[in-house]
């Protein structure tokens, strides 16, 4: 059992309250919500209640929420579904630092004949909006820009971006997987057309997500073959998980502000402790405008995977900003886009906290991490 879990941007612990809410739908209420009989009908009302809970968290109408299997499906449905429905918008604009669930379908659509523009970020991971404005002058476009970056936590100005995109008569999707439940979001005031979210990033189980589609936005279904979700996403509803997602959104709405303050304080203490105790360390991303739970730091002259393996032996879970574990020798596309130096990019580590972390967790990491870094630097093949 991991003693200190600091990889919450990868996945979160399922909250006990959510497990409790889900259990009846495994044990007693296991009917098909699409069935016309009472056994199915009594389940359907819980699906609709969850839809209301998800909608309430982001300021949407319940009819604008489509349940999916995950954030990746939501991203794919938004991009490929909108492109399929639009037809006449051959230009797609995104950023170089998007999650692969956005970049991959964008590049797929490019191969199908769409023109693709990938916007740059600066050394702090901030987006320059001038190229977006320029790109939108050429033609109407489907724009996909994340609300907050999964590696650095940097928050993009989606409100300003939405005004620019809508002013140009274009369509805006935002991958808000890392932002929902951590930041206040109100789509009734921020005119995004589509928004993706994922249950397992806010203490619901893996295997459930949602796509917000503003009323009147044309998006063709990605999965066909049934009338579920008003014909927008076929397949029998995953009722226990949908109920869990609804409860997770309800809990997030109740505790967001208090949790953000407490978690950010722990994140900042971890950051200050690392900078004080470990030489040749840099913080990646805009420290003034990031998610309250996320810290990305680079330890120069060390491989990030070596740090992670050493931390794992100490029962500390974090993640690397490098793609080496997938067989690539290149650092992450986010670090490359930010221009992080080679010697630092390979040693980038992401610590991401949640409501279940404690001050003792931070104490434990700060006690052991400096020794790990010092030992690895002694045997590092990199030249200092």
At residue 379 the predicted structure's pLDDT band, cuts being 50, 70 and 90, is confident
- Segment 241-279, tens digit of pLDDT: 999 999 999 999 998 999 999 999 999 999 999 999 999
DSSP class per residue in 150-163: TTT-BBP-HHHHHH
Residue 322 has pLDDT above 90, yes or no: no
C-alpha pair distances (Å), 108 with each of 76, 100, 111, 213, 256: 11, 11, 5, 22, 36
Domains of the chain, earliest start first? 4-11+255-378 (3.90.1150.10), 16-252 (3.40.640.10)
At residue 380 the predicted structure's pLDDT band, cuts being 50, 70 and 90, is confident
Residue 61 has pLDDT above 50, yes or no: yes
Residue 384 has pLDDT above 60, yes or no: no
Residue 382 has pLDDT above 80, yes or no: no
Residue 324 has pLDDT above 70, yes or no: no
Using alpha carbons, select from 233, 232, 243 the residue that is nearest to residue 208: 243
Using alpha carbons, select from 367, 296, 361, 342 the residue that is nearest to residue 151: 296
Using alpha carbons, select from 84, 81, 109 the residue that is nearest to residue 94: 109
Q: What's the order of all strands across the beta sheet hosting 294-299?
A: 281-283, 294-299, 348-352, 319-320
As a whole number, mean pLDDT of residues 309-319 equals 96
Residue 122 has pLDDT above 70, yes or no: yes
At residue 87 the predicted structure's pLDDT band, cuts being 50, 70 and 90, is confident
As a whole number, mean pLDDT of residues 106-117 equals 95
Residue 326 has pLDDT above 60, yes or no: no
Q: What is the pTM of this model?
A: 0.95
At residue 32 the predicted structure's pLDDT band, cuts being 50, 70 and 90, is confident
As a whole number, mean pLDDT of residues 348-360 equals 97
pLDDT of residue 145: 98
Tell me the chain's radius of gyration from C-alpha atoms. 21
Using alpha carbons, select from 201, 302, 242, 263 the residue that is nearest to residue 44: 242
3-state secondary structure of 95: strand
| Residues catalogued as catalytic | 324
| Spatial distance between the Cα atoms of 351 and 382, rounded to a whole number of angstroms | 24
pLDDT exceeding 70 applies to what percent of the chain?
A: 96
């Amino acid at each position: 059992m991991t003693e200190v879990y600091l990889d919450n941007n990868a996945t979160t612990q399922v909250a006990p309250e959510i497990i409790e809410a889900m259990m009846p739908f495994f044990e007693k209420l296991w009917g098909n919500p699409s069935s016309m009989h009472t056994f199915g009908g009594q389940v359907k009302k819980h699906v609709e209640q969850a839809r209301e809970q998800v909608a309430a968290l982001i300021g949407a109408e319940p009819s604008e929420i489509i349940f999916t299997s995950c954030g990746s499906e939501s991203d794919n449905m938004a991009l490929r579904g909108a492109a399929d429905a639009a037809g006449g918008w051959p230009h797609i604009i995104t950023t170089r630092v998007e999650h692969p669930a956005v970049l991959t379908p964008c590049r797929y659509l490019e191969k199908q004949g769409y023109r693709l523009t990938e916007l740059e970020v600066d050394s702090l991971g901030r987006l320059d909006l001038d190229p977006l404005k320029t790109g939108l002058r050429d033609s109407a476009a489907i724009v996909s820009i994340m609300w907050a970056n999964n590696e650095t936590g940097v928050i993009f100005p989606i409100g300003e971006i939405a005004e620019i995109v809508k002013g140009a008569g274009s369509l805006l999707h935002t991958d808000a997987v890392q932002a929902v439940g951590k930041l206040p979001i109100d789509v009734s005031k921020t005119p995004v057309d589509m928004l993706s979210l994922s249950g397992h990033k806010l203490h619901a189980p893996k295997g459930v997500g949602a796509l917000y589609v503003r009323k009147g936005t044309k998006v063709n279904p990605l999965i066909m073959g049934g009338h579920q979700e008003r014909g927008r996403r076929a397949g029998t509803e995953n009722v226990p998980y949908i109920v869990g997602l609804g409860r997770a959104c309800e809990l997030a709405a109740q505790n967001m502000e208090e949790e953000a303050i407490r978690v950010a304080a722990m994140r900042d203490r971890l950051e200050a402790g690392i900078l004080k105790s470990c030489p040749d360390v840099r913080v990646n991303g805009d420290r003034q405008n990031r998610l309250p739970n996320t810290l990305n730091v680079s330890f120069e002259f060390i491989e990030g995977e070596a740090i992670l393996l050493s931390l794992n032996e100490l029962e500390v879970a974090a993640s690397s900003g490098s793609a080496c574990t997938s067989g690539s020798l290149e650092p992450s596309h986010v670090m490359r886009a930010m221009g992080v130096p080679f010697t630092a990019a390979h040693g980038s580590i992401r610590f991401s906290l949640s409501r279940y972390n404690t001050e003792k967790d931070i104490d434990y990491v700060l006690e052991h991490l400096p020794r790990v870094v010092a030992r690895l630097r002694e045997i590092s093949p990199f030249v200092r």
